[in-house]
Amino acid sequence: MRNILRTVSVTSLLALGAAMPALAQEVNIYTTREPGLIQPILDAFTAETGITVNTVFLESGLIERVQAEGESSPADLLMTVDFGALIDLVGAGVTQPVDSDQLEAAIPASLRDADGNWFALSGRARVVYAAKDLELDAITYEQLDDEEFRGTLCIRSGQHPYNTALFAAYMAKHGEEATKTWLEGIKANQARAAAGGDRDGARDIAAGICDIAVANSYYYGLMASGAGGDEQKAWADEVKVILPTFEGGGTLVNISGAAVAAHAPHRDEAVQLLEYLASDEAQKLYAEANFEYPVSTTAEVAPIIAAFGTLNPDSQSLTDVLPFRARASELVDEVNFDTFSN
C-alpha cells in the first residue's frame, strides 16, 4: 500500500507539473548607459527568445550598489559606457568569468577579457565637431590647445569618463607635465564653461558660441538621423565631423561593454543575452539604432558614421591607458578645467 501511495503521489506531482505553465524567464541589467539607447536591441532579444529584460539605470554608484546587495543582488548583467568603468567592476570583485565559444568567435581578443570577465559590445570615437563653414578638415588631439582656437572650443566636464579617457590616453603618450600644459591650453580655448553633454557642443556651434567641440561620434548620428527630434537635427546640419588622431597614431575609440554579475540569479539568461548582443543581428542594430561602431568585424557601420571616413583606431591598448586615469582626473581639478574664466 505504501508503494502504491508513493507511486500515486509521484504521478500526481508529475501531472501537476505538466499542467502548470513554465516560469517566465527574465534577466536583470544594471546599466550606466541610458536604457533608451539599447532598448531596441533588448526588445529584439525578448522577441526572439521570450526572455523579459528588466533594466535599472544607475548614473553612478554601480559598484557600490552591487556590493551593498551582496549575494542577494538581483543583478545579472552589468553594463557600462566606459572601458575604465568596466575594468573597475572586475577589480571590485562583482563579476564572474564566462566561457563562451560564441563570444570568443564574435569579439576580437583585444576587446574582451582573457579570463572572460568582460566583453566589449560597441565602440565610439572621440571626435571633433566643427562649424560647416570652418576651414578645418583635419586635426590632431594635440592641436586642441592651439592658440588659433582661443575662445572657440566647447567641451563637457573634464571629469566625465569620456574626457578622462582621452586625457589619460594623452598622458600615456606624452607624460604628466605635457598633459597638464595641454589641459591648460584647452581650458584657455573654451568658449564657455566645460559642462552639459556632447550634443550641447553641436547646439552651441549652431548658435555661434563655439567653432569646434569635442564629442562622441554616435551622438552626431542620433542628431543627424532625426532620432533626437527636429531641433537636434538642425544642430547636426550646422556641423561636420572630423576624426582626430594622435600625432603618429590613430583615433581614440572607447567602448561600452558588459559583464555577468558575480551572484547573477539568472546566469544562463545573462550569458544568452551577452551572446545575442555580440551577434551579427544585434551588432547591426547597434550600428543602425545607436550609430556606434560594431565590435564585430563582419558588421557594417551605419552610413551616417561611415561618411566620416575610414576609422583608424589608435594602436595604444586601452589597458595601457588605465593606470593614467586617476592622475588625469586629478589634473583636471588642478587646472580648474571646469571653471570658466575667459
Which phi and psi angles does 125 have, rounded to 5°? Answer: -90, 145
Q: How many residues does the chain have?
A: 342
Dihedral sign computed on CA atoms, order 146, 149, 151, 153: negative
Query: Which cell goes with 181?
Result: 600644459
What is the C-alpha separation between 152 and 258, in angstroms, rounded? 37
What is the C-alpha separation between 88 and 85, in angstroms, rounded? 5
- Give the type of residue at 128: V
Chain centroid, CA 269 distance in Å:
22
Do 94 and 278 touch, CB atoms closer than 8 A? no
What is the C-alpha separation between 224 and 38, in angstroms, rounded? 18
Do 164 and 332 touch, CB atoms closer than 8 A? yes
| Residue 218 counted as an annotated binding residue | yes
Which pairs count as long-range contacts for 96-99, CB under 8 Å and 24+ apart, including other chains? 96/259, 96/260, 96/261, 96/262, 96/264, 96/267, 98/260, 98/271, 98/274
Taking residue 205's Cβ as centre, other Cβ atoms within 10 Å add up to 27
Chain centroid, CA 68 distance in Å:
24
| Residue 129 counted as an annotated binding residue | no
Do 62 and 89 touch, CB atoms closer than 8 A? yes
* Residue at grid coordinates 577579457: 113
What is the C-alpha separation between 173 and 169, in angstroms, rounded? 7
Binding-site positions: 218-219
Binding-site positions for Fe cation: 218-219
